[in-house]
Amino acid sequence: MGWNSYNHYSCSPNESIIHSNAQALVDLGLQPLGYHYVTVDCGWTLPDRIANGTLTWNPARFPSGYPALGNFIHGLGLGFGVYQDAGIQTCMTGSPTQVGSLFHERIDAETFAAWGADLLKYDDCYSEAATGYPNVDYTPVVSPSGRYANMTAAILATNRPILFQICDWGVDFPALWAPALGNSWRVTNDIIPAFRTIPRILNQVVPQTDFAGPGHWLDLDMLEVGNGVFTIPEEQTHFSLWAILKSPLVIGAALKDTYTSISQASLAILKNKDIISYNQDSLGVAASFRRRWTETGYELWAGPLSGNRMVVALINLQNTDRSLTLNLPDVGVQKAGSVKDIWNGVTVANVLTSYTALVKAHGTLLLELGGMVSAGYYDSSNTVTVGQTTTFGKIFGSTTSQNYSALLSFKDKQTSASVVVNGNPYTLTDSSSLTIPLSLNAANNNTLIITSPTPPTSLSITPPNSTFYPSTSFKVSGSSILTTCHTGLCKPVGSKIGYLTPTGSASLSIPAPYKTSSGLAVSKYVEIYFCNNEIAFQSSWDSGTNTRNMTIAVNGVTTRVELPLSGRSSELFSPGYGWEDTGVFGVLLGGWTDGNNNVVVGNVYGSTGLVNYGADFVGLSVYW
């Protein structure tokens, strides 16, 4: 946690700016909350080294010198962060150009240690020799990891503890090599001052969250909170997600200088103690992506906290205020003894199955759950009993199906008792429990009415099993192509269908394994197995989203899904280049009927402003 000069001051920091913002960390009460490191980003040095080969500061910008600057920061009880680059010069906007650390790692690390540096942010511009040291090279012929390993070794040789922030913008999937070299690694290209940057970054983080852990963290880039580029609800979303994903919380706004002071509303976001505690939680587990409702514009992230708690974020991706509902079973919970709604400022006790609240445009419903009961378990405290009739309400069904299994438990063993469940008679014989088949709709408000001599004490529901349909069973048409993947990839099939476009699709007739009681079309929960590694490097500055779309039509009922990245290997050097790493995406699809179901996978909206090619298709599981 801390502050960095770049987002607000770009590559034009100076001594006055650093002094005033460091002082503001203390004066505004941010330091006691954990904001510790003050980092001077690009623009601090000169085009050339001095005669003895060391770096030096720009005396016009830092007249007192860097050792004095470090002393000032340390005198406030803060950490001193410095910036350099793994290339021949630093990433730089404006002038003068700045010399980098390539081939000078040892002497630069010694210099930083001598100045009392506590943190090094290490960029990767002008570093690729094979292409003449361009400003950036998103497709280098060698991995950046070697350059970072050189600086890691140089830092360790100083015997000074220096936090090492790797910043290669996600090139060569650093989650596989950076944890051994540094304390954090940038997952994506730079954050930009527009809200579209938030979902773009989150879509790139999806397959990487389990790489984070104590001492090695995903870096989603510095915060824009307080820079006046987002609305307050957007700032809340930004801060919430960075916090629960365990990204370093590095303020990028002007806290205080000659011309600018941070607003009280933004300051309150940065000082939210609950959210800071989620970021700094001792369990050290990043939240993970759970579900996305593409066509209605919201998505769900959640992760565990210490003390048997959970943090949940439901993001409103639409630019309009509306009520959103969290179905607790979507995060593996049936009941929460307490739900703390952070941005709405309320705490509710004993919440069963679902929680609904107003969420501002581009805002987030951020919840802390405590006293959790696992999904599928309902106890008698949430029933209504009148005479011999007991009603369980707010029963959740993930898929419309007759194939649920329900276990009813009773206090005492029954020798022979008649039990009626939703009008169906059963006999409880010499037992204190009864297992029966159950039909539920895909909804959060199913009801179970039980008539029995004694009321049940609990209800446990097991959802139906799924059937998997591999891509190899589908018939391709148009531009689509079935390809065999490298050994062990495109799991669990080993093949995938690519080039899904408005004129290319894959189809399969899937027979329903049973008849529905009504005979009407119903909704089924489906898991899509897909591959997408369309990484937004250069396109991150404008239209890049890190997503590809896919459409699935069931008997003519078409649903669009926007799929995040699935790649968990190098996009440059691994077999399949990350395009054969499988992701799984859950969605409720309508249109299923008795008999044969015509399922068509494609990208029918690819010609309407979305990416023309869809994600690659590995298979799907239907929960019957």
Strands (E), 375-423: 377-379, 383-386, 389-397, 401-421
* Cβ–Cβ < 8 Å for 116, 71: yes
578: left (phi over 0), alpha (psi -120 to 50) or beta: left
Neighbours of 535 (CB within 10 A): 23
* Cβ–Cβ < 8 Å for 507, 601: yes
Pairing of strands 322-327, 354-359: antiparallel
Q: What are the two backbone dihedrals, phi and then psi, of residue 312, each rounded to the nearest 5 degrees? A: -130, 135
Helix (H, G, I), strand (E, B) or coil at 274: helix
Amino acid identity, position 128? E
* Cβ–Cβ < 8 Å for 295, 559: yes
Nearest Cα neighbor of 435 from 416, 412, 454, 460 is 460
Identify the active-site residue in 123, 221, 281, 616.
123
* Cβ–Cβ < 8 Å for 102, 86: yes
* Cβ–Cβ < 8 Å for 225, 269: yes
Return the structure tokens found at 3. Answer: 């502050």
Identify the active-site residue in 190, 341, 379, 594.
190
CA–CA separation, 227 vs 7, rounded Å?
8
Known active-site residue 221: no
Report CA-CA distances (Å) from 599 to 5, 10, 292, 553, 590: 53, 51, 21, 6, 11
Strands (E), 21-153: 37-39, 79-85, 119-123
Nearest Cα neighbor of 208 from 586, 565, 573, 536 is 565
Known active-site residue 330: no
Nearest Cα neighbor of 552 from 578, 577, 575, 523 is 523
Q: What are the two backbone dihedrals, phi and then psi, of residue 335, each rounded to the nearest 5 degrees? A: -145, 140
Element (H, E) at 108: helix 105-114
Return the structure tokens found at 273. Answer: 């103690």
Residue in this structure with the two tokens 């990043």, named with its chain if needed: 286
Neighbours of 75 (CB within 10 A): 9
CA–CA separation, 150 vs 143, rounded Å?
13
484 has which bridge partners? 495
For residue 343, how many C-alpha atoms fall within 13 Å in the half-sphere facing its CB? 25
Neighbours of 95 (CB within 10 A): 9
Looking at the annotation, which residues are catalytic? 123, 190
